[in-house]
Structure 1
Amino acid sequence: MNGPLATTVLDEFGTNLPRLLDGLQVSVVLTLLSIAFGAPLALLACLAQMSPIRPIRYAAIGFVELGRGAPALVLLQLAYFGLPSAGVVLPAMTAAIAALSWTAAAYGAEYIRGGIAAVPRREVEACHALGMTTRDTFRFVVIPQGLRIAIPSLMGFAVMLFQATSLAYSVAVPELMSQAYSIGSSTFRYLVVLIQAGVLYAAISIPFTWLSISVERRMNKHI
């Protein structure tokens, strides 16, 4: 970044900051709600993929594969523009939460399944030796340990989900990127305001990424 551009970015930051912070607040709320709805769905989808009942297992696999295979932008467009053709009209924020929750659930299910698969076999054998049933072993030993192993990956994905909220501008959610475009359309200084928005994204993403790495290292000490 050259000197004049850096000076302009800093000079206009105070002017644009209130609107950008409003958008950042919406982005954070959208992320938290998507995680709040997506996390339980992820666990259910993970368990359903292990079900011995074929229809349940296949439905869960389809849910996960579609959620992972379809870009988040496509799911957003589907929820906001596609569902009305089927008679279901969702507000922009609700559509964004639904789409991103599906994405979070699909990826989260795979992270959790990987965590469960990483639980040492000897733990299960020890539970059986103590007389625990298979169901209790899964509920009280395998799932808690699997979730613990998956936590760093889930935290890393939360950062990516926060960044993915920038796609919600396409369905008129007033998040950070939407506010940046709105400011740019009135000032015609897109480069400046987009750099400012990028700084705010980084201010959230980088510390949380460091935190997830720290958590992973602390957990690995006990493995």
Structure 2
Amino acid sequence: MFADWLTYLPALGTGLVTSVQVTIASLVLGLPFGLLLALGASSENGLLRSAVIALVELGRGTPALVVLQIFYFGMPGFGLTLSSFVSAVIALALTTGAYTSEIIRGGLQAVPAGEVEAADALGMSHLDTLRYVVIPQGLRIAVPPLLGFAILIFQATSLAYTIALPELLGAAYSIGSTTFRYLSVLTLAGLMYAAVTIPMSLLTDRITARMSRHL
């Protein structure tokens, strides 16, 4: 098995890089989208708030695998063909936005009401209050759970093997279909996932403890 691992490692390493790239791109697009959804769900405009909440619930209720299939196999029906990488990034970014909107909204609502009232007393506009008071503090509160969700998105990139993206799991299946040594290659792929997620989990726990102590 160890001899096999030395043979498989270069191909799986390339797949791991692809998984990390998809994760980063999905978070870069999805987190700002989640912030916009969180602000919309907290809006005083009832119609806007209801529409955004309905959109968030739809996004949270639809499995990421289904969204992946829609963008990769469904878009050609509209005359738009997307690569597997682009489809994976868009699908996971939308999933990220839907889930992180609730995390961010919780962080925004955790900002003490007294600080918002103080901003109003100083004559700050609603937009300035959001920009300088609510959003910075709310995002700081939301950082630990957002880091935890980022780990989940990295793991979710494994779903992209269903749309022929050569990420880590896809590379493992490709090797397995050629060598028929699935146990060996999938074990190595699992260890490579763990080599990323375990340090990230420990880092998240450390950041959470540090911020909790500060608060």
Q: CA deviation at 1:89?
A: 1.8
Question: Among residues 107, 127, 131, which one is paired with 1:135 in the alignment?
Answer: 127
**How far does residue 162 in structure 1 lie from its aligned partner after superposition?**
0.2
Q: CA RMSD in A?
A: 1.4
Deviations 1:125-147 (A, max 9, x none): 33334443333222211111000
Moved more, 20-29 or 113-122: 113-122
Q: State the Cα distance separating 1:92 from its structure 2 match.
A: 1.1
Deviation (angstroms), 1:11: 2.2
Report what 1:174 is aligned to.
Answer: 166
Residue 51 (structure 1) shift:
2.4
Deviation of residue 45 (structure 1)? Answer: 1.0
Q: Deviations over 1:133-167 (max 9, x none)?
A: 33322221111100000000000000000000000
- How far does residue 54 in structure 1 lie from its aligned partner after superposition? 4.0
Counterpart AA for 2:110: A
**So what's the TM-score if we normalise by structure 2?**
0.95
Residue 30 of structure 1 pairs with residue 30 of structure 2: no
Aligned partner (choices 98, 108, 113) of residue 106 of structure 1 = 98
Counterpart of 2:115 in structure 1 is 123
Q: Distance in 2 between matches of 1:27 and 1:150?
A: 24
- 8 A contact 2:42–2:105 mirrored in 1: no
Number of matched pairs: 215
User: Does the 8 Å contact 2:59/2:98 carry over to 1?
Assistant: yes
In structure 2, how many angstroms separate the alpha carbons of the residues matched to 1:209 and 1:31?
Answer: 15
% same residue: 53
Structure 1 residue aligned with 2:176, among 167, 174, 184? 184
What is the TM-score when the length of structure 1 is the normalising length?
0.92
Structure 1 residue ranges without an equivalent (≥5) = 1-7
| Aligned match of 2:53 | 61
Report the alpha carbon displacement of residue 13 of structure 1 after superposing the two structures with TM: 1.1
* CA shift digits 1:63-108 (9 cap, x unpaired): 2112211111011011111222233221111111110000111111
